[in-house]
């Protein structure tokens, strides 16, 4: 139950924290300039990977930026600076670009690997809030993420600063995506297990129902139509004359016909209530195309046909949305 006495105090603190971070993001936006452009162009020209590094909260942000870069077309991974100093520097090749995060620019574990980075011939991009810091001065490119103060009520815990670091990383990722002409299909290839990847990469034939299709002929009695819909489990039946598809009947068509025709219902033939020329799709089409077709025609099912327009399966919206 809400405590009336402290409700406004809680909300005031929360709103102030959000406002502080919002103001910092606007400051970051207005401050972007040549160094940011240089960083993007440098990464675009590289034939290596982008290696993110940082300690503590900056390290957590570096991990997230690495994951975002990797999933949007820029090969990247996170390297812990402490582990790097104790043997993992071998993971860095000469073509790689290093992006080091340290708000103070004086983080000991990060500074310790700077000499190796220079000696190895790597380009070092730093992201700090202190342009005069040791890390900033020893970098080829410096991205300024300075904030006026942290959102923390003590102005101590990394809050605003990590938000701005994260936003700078997202800005880099988005700019690189644009410059690489990174498409939804590219994204899908890197996310085959995701919903978008599934719809863009998998075909209708991969997921369609192909066995025990609910097919009846044009002279099927009404009672058999009901039985076929029930047994088929798709909420529909397909009327065929040999290999030729004549129409489709849904369970809704059956219900409406029973209400409208009542006692006469059991004398009807399938084509009396069927939808002729049902919507069809080829099994080689992508799931995304099936989804678009269903949305456009406001249907939940498509008949899947081969090159001769012979029925080979049925796909439903539920198969795509899995």
DSSP E strands, 23-75: 50-54
* Homologous superfamily in CATH for domain 201-320: CBS-domain (3.10.580.10)
Q: What is the DSSP letter of 131?
A: T
In this prediction the pTM is: 0.70
- Among 101, 140, 123, 143, residue whose Cα is nearest residue 48: 123
Kindly give the confidence (pLDDT) of every residue in the chain, 322 residues in length, as a single tens digit, with 9 standing for 90 and above: 556 679 889 999 999 999 999 999 999 999 999 999 999 999 999 999 999 999 999 999 999 999 999 989 899 999 999 998 888 898 999 999 999 999 999 999 999 999 999 999 999 999 999 999 999 999 999 999 999 999 999 988 999 999 999 999 999 999 999 999 988 777 767 766 566 666 777 899 988 999 989 999 999 998 899 899 888 889 899 999 999 999 999 988 888 988 888 888 888 999 999 999 899 999 999 888 998 999 998 888 999 999 999 999 999 988 887 5
- Among 210, 229, 213, residue whose Cα is nearest residue 270: 229
CATH of domain 4-182: 3.40.50.10490
Q: Do residues 279 and 290 make contact, with C-beta atoms less than 8 angstroms apart?
A: no
The CA distance from 320 to 322, in Å, is 6
The CA distance from 102 to 191, in Å, is 30
* Per-domain boundaries in the chain: 4-182, 201-320
Q: Do residues 113 and 80 make contact, with C-beta atoms less than 8 angstroms apart?
A: no
- Among 315, 320, 291, residue whose Cα is nearest residue 304: 315
């Amino acid at each position: 139950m809400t405590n009336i006495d402290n409700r406004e105090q809680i909300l005031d603190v929360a709103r102030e924290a959000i406002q502080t971070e919002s103001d910092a993001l606007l400051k970051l936006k207005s401050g972007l300039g040549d160094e940011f452009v240089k960083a993007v162009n440098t990464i675009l020209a590289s034939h290596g990977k982008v290696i993110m590094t940082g300690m503590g909260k900056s390290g957590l942000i570096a991990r997230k930026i690495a994951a975002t870069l990797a999933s949007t077309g820029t090969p990247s991974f996170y390297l812990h600076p402490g582990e790097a100093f104790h043997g993992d520097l071998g993971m860095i090749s000469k073509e790689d670009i290093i992006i080091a995060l340290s708000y103070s620019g004086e983080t000991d574990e990060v500074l310790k690997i700077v000499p190796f980075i220079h000696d190895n011939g790597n380009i070092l991009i730093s992201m700090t809030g202190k342009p005069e810091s040791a890390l900033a001065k020893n970098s080829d490119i410096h991205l300024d993420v300075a904030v006026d103060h942290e959102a923390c009520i003590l102005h101590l815990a990394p809050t605003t600063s990590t938000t701005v670091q994260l936003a700078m990383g997202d800005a880099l990722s988005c700019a690189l995506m644009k410059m690489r002409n990174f498409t939804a299909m590219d994204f899908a290839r890197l996310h085959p297990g995701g919903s978008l990847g599934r719809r863009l990469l998998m075909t209708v034939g991969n997921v369609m129902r192909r066995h025990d299709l609910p097919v009846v002929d044009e002279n099927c009695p009404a009672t058999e139509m009901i039985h076929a819909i029930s047994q088929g489990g798709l909420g529909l039946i397909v009327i065929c004359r040999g290999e030729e598809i004549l129409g489709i009947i849904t369970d809704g068509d059956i219900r409406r016909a029973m209400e409208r025709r009542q006692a006469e219902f059991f004398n009807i033939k399938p084509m009396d209530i069927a939808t002729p020329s049902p919507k069809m799709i080829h099994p080689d089409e992508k799931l995304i195309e099936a989804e678009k077709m269903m949305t456009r025609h406001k249907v939940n099912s498509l008949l899947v046909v081969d090159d001769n327009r012979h029925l080979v399966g049925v796909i439903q919206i539920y198969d795509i949305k899995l």
